Structure 1
Amino acid sequence: MAIQSTNPMTGGVEKIFEEWTPEEISSVLADVDSAFRKWRETTPAFRAESLIRLAGVLREKADSLAGLMAAEMGKPLNSGRAEVLKSATVCDYYSQNGPGMIESELLTVDGMQCRIEYSPTGTVLAVMPWNYPVWQVLRIAVPTLMAGNTMVLKHASNVPQCAQALEELFREAGFPENVFRTLMIGAGQVETVLDHDSVVGVSLTGSEEAGRKVAAAAGARLKKSVMELGGSDAFVVLEDADLAKAAEIGAASRCSNAGQACIAAKRFIVHRSVFDEFVSMLGKEMNAIPVGHPHAPETVMGPLASFRFRDELQAQVDRCVAAGGKLFMGGAIPEGEGAFYPPTILTDIPFDAPAAREELFGPVAMVFPAESEEKAMEMANDSRFGLGGSVWTRDEEKGLKLARRIEAGLVYVNGRVSSRPPIPFGGVKNSGYGRELYTYGIREFVNVKSICIG
């Protein structure tokens, strides 16, 4: 089966790759396992130096990587450059802090001297999505390699050129050969990779459906898994909020990456007393976002990643309208080239309608009124997802109190939710389990070994 790179502006095929055979997969995994035997013996300081070089290569290659993202999934060039530069910061962070995170800890227990060691375990499979094709990979790969493990990447099938480029980045940065490899495989071959003894676990970022399948496959083989799945983040606006700021940040969050982000404002839950005013302000902010060709310097929002994704989003919007929702703005596929979808706001959707419970992966905001703060909290948590969320209020103490009640892995008060190296990131409920970044990310695939001397 072929893996195709298709341009979302033209619908034309950019490049075709042949899917690897099981024999090719086995050969590469054997090479990666051999590399692990040597890489695990390197010092944390040596690995940190490698990451410093990788950060440099990323900064040098920002323009070319942005061009690949624009061609394969429609990301505007400015956004692509920003993603690559952000990816360099995860290298900076773990080169500085990683060695201390895996340093042995000494304890005295009942007169015994005990050591807690954080030992690498083998090769980790990363199953990654297309929406942030550089950042998503490196925020997993960097701490995993810093811990002394090796990694193989099964990237999304619509960004194969980005996948190849990532492997080349590690090579150019001087990493030993086969410490990081890209596997040119489809979803159907993930289990083939997990069958190999050298593969000790899998980290997946993707849909609920993909997470269930891969988690089940890993569990059947007694292998560790980390799942970062879908989200439908609650954006809670209280009656005392700074509405102008909330509307500005809410629009940016909902339309960033053409709305194709797991962690982004999606369900706007607004106190009834400021509902109409906020919707109007949100609409003005979303309508002002420059939409256009990914190569245009003024473009902030480009096309969706494929025409198929756009059609699926339109079907979701239609279901919301059929359930009783009203279009405040947008909601129709525009004419012309490119898989564009307009910034869209939906109101009056019955909160318990099935359509209101879906994750909308595009620039579509669902706005719901809440009669009280207590009702807003109830609505925020009435979701199968629990990835991120935010609370908007001028009373920071109240914001913190309410943020603690939101069932999610990452909650901001008066700020835009985003993943950053010094902050643990991951979800609860159907948004997954396990954590990326900070100390928790580097320790997901290590052996926490206790050594006691009696």
Structure 2
Amino acid sequence: MTAKNSNSQTCAINPATGEVLSSRPYASQALIEQAITRAASASKVWGNTPLTQRAAAITRLASVLESQAQTLAQTITREMGKPIRQSRAEVAKCINLCHWYAEHGPGMLENQPTQVPGQQAEIAFRPLGVILAVMPWNFPLWQVLRGAVPMLIAGNTYLLKHAPNVPASAGLLAQAFIDADFPVGAFAEINASNDGVSTLIADQRVAAVALTGSARAGEAIGAQAGKALKKCVLELGGSDPFIVLNSANLDDAVSAGVAGRFQNTGQVCAAAKRFIVEAGIAEAFIEKFVAATRNLVVGNPEDEQTDIGPMARFDLRDELHRQVENTLSQGATCVLGGEKLPGEGNYYAPTVLTGVTPEMTAFQEEMFGPVAAVTIARDAEHALELANLSQYGLSATIYGDEHQALQMAGKLECGGVFINGYSASDPRVPFGGVKRSGFGRELSHFGLYEFCNIQTVWKNRC
């Protein structure tokens, strides 16, 4: 069973029970045209709205989200299985994001005087217009708002094509913008098919595209945006290395490793997936890591005590199990888990694979679920080599002596490095990757400027 897409409609399924939650048709060409027309019309109003008023609208949005926090969290949990404590944390993170950009965004968007000898010039940040965003299900609110909030405060309008298995989350978000008194069309959600997305990208009124998704989706969206000469930002998959050096505090590394791998049931793009452990500490690390993983509570995601909920889609559990079985057939050892759990829900046992080497599936491919792959490195230099031996480059973690870790950080091929702490995102710093993890940045002023026309204004140039 899966969140099914037919030729005419999508279907959302509760992954904890297998219950069909809802179904809805794909948007017709008429609805797509209506959405673009409204977004384009709203962009003329919203883009000329004073910056202080746009910031005030973002603050109102934060208040609306706060008033609906419990409903939003429960909806996330029912639709994609995130443990309820983590769903509430996702909503809280979105509220903080809104407050941060409402406070700091206006200053970032002020004109910047530039020194040109004998002349005057300044840099201005203008909106591009309508931005199409194709977003995933694993963080149904955060993934949307971390892009939408800076885009909107910059004066753009936002057209969301959300994942088909989280329609209620998408609908609540759209309603939140209405409740926060944004202009009609400033934020809109549409259930577009793949063909519908292609239509949207090709439309001249759509100025740019943002995608968070798989590398395969990035190839398709990037090619279409390129053909249409549209700016795009792609935040794609990751197979992040979690390096544990001999100098690491073992208990801290284990605690962070378990949290970093199994948050959101392992369904995080920027999360520890490949544990690369220096030989001198490997045996002790594996023993403690397995023991800590065994203590994770698997169960009903609506239960406050649950650490691991169901995977979001049944087809993704099948794919994860295929990857595990392939890795075992290639010579790895399963020391914990490695199986689908019985029952109606879409549960997969927290799994630890050891003896994983670079040619194996668990090393080469992104494992999007509760599976940790452990590879032993001869020394720190070998650990660095193994970390970079990937098609992905989203983020990386190093546990060990800080000076040594800092020296290694500059040699890691990724967008973010975390030293003695596991990967996270924060509005104050940029987020994104390199290689097949995509390009462009979200968050901070870097993310804000991605969807601006950065215009140079010359004064009195003779």
The yes-or-no answer on 1:303 pairing with 2:310 is yes
2:227 to 217, 220, 224: 220
- TM-score, length of structure 1 as denominator length: 0.98
| Aligned position for 2:4 | none
1:349 positional shift: 2.3
| Aligned position for 1:4 | 11
1-side partners of 2:90 and 2:280: how far apart? 38
- 5+ residue gaps in structure 2? 1-7
The yes-or-no answer on 1:385 pairing with 2:381 is no
Letter in 1 for 2:95: A
Matches within 5 A, 1:250-269: 250-269=257-276
1:274 positional shift: 0.8
1:355 positional shift: 4.5
| Aligned position for 1:51 | 58
1:272 positional shift: 0.5
2-side partners of 1:78 and 1:2: how far apart? 31
2-side partners of 1:104 and 1:278: how far apart? 52
1-side partners of 2:342 and 2:395: how far apart? 34
2:404 to 398, 411, 414: 398
Q: Secondary structure at the match of 2:256?
A: helix
1:70 to 77, 80, 103: 77
Identity of aligned residues (%): 42
User: How big is each residue's C-alpha offset from its partner over 1:159-189, in whole Å with a ceiling of 9 and x where there is no partner?
Assistant: 1111111100101111111100001112332
Letter in 1 for 2:439: Y
| Aligned position for 2:455 | 449
2-side partners of 1:169 and 1:291: how far apart? 32
The yes-or-no answer on 1:34 pairing with 2:27 is no
2:189 to 182, 186, 200: 182
| Aligned position for 1:411 | 417
| Aligned position for 1:199 | 206
2:242 to 230, 235, 247: 235
2-side partners of 1:413 and 1:355: how far apart? 24
The question of whether the paired residues in 2 share the 8 Å contact of 1:329 and 1:345 is answered with yes
The question of whether the paired residues in 1 share the 8 Å contact of 2:414 and 2:433 is answered with yes
Matches within 5 A, 1:261-340: 261-340=268-347
- TM-score, length of structure 2 as denominator length: 0.97
1-side partners of 2:196 and 2:320: how far apart? 28
The question of whether the paired residues in 2 share the 8 Å contact of 1:323 and 1:350 is answered with no
1:356 positional shift: 2.3
| Aligned position for 1:429 | 435
Matches within 5 A, 1:11-160: 11-160=18-167
2-side partners of 1:49 and 1:305: how far apart? 35
1:242 positional shift: 0.5
Query: After TM superposition, which residue ranges in structure 1, 4 or more long, deviate above 6 angstroms?
Result: none
What root-mean-square deviation, in Å, do the aligned CA atoms of Structure 1 and Structure 2 show? 1.0
The question of whether the paired residues in 1 share the 8 Å contact of 2:62 and 2:98 is answered with yes
Q: Secondary structure at the match of 1:443?
A: helix
2-side partners of 1:320 and 1:57: how far apart? 46
Letter in 1 for 2:212: T
| Aligned position for 1:172 | 179
1:284 positional shift: 1.2
The yes-or-no answer on 1:438 pairing with 2:428 is no
Q: Secondary structure at the match of 1:249?
A: helix
Q: Secondary structure at the match of 2:436?
A: helix
Letter in 2 for 1:260: Q
User: How big is each residue's C-alpha offset from its partner over 1:227-252, in whole Å with a ceiling of 9 and x where there is no partner?
Assistant: 00000000000001001110011001
1-side partners of 2:419 and 2:304: how far apart? 32
1:316 positional shift: 0.6
The question of whether the paired residues in 2 share the 8 Å contact of 1:3 and 1:186 is answered with no
2-side partners of 1:66 and 1:355: how far apart? 32
1:354 positional shift: 4.3
2-side partners of 1:350 and 1:402: how far apart? 21
Q: Secondary structure at the match of 1:219?
A: helix
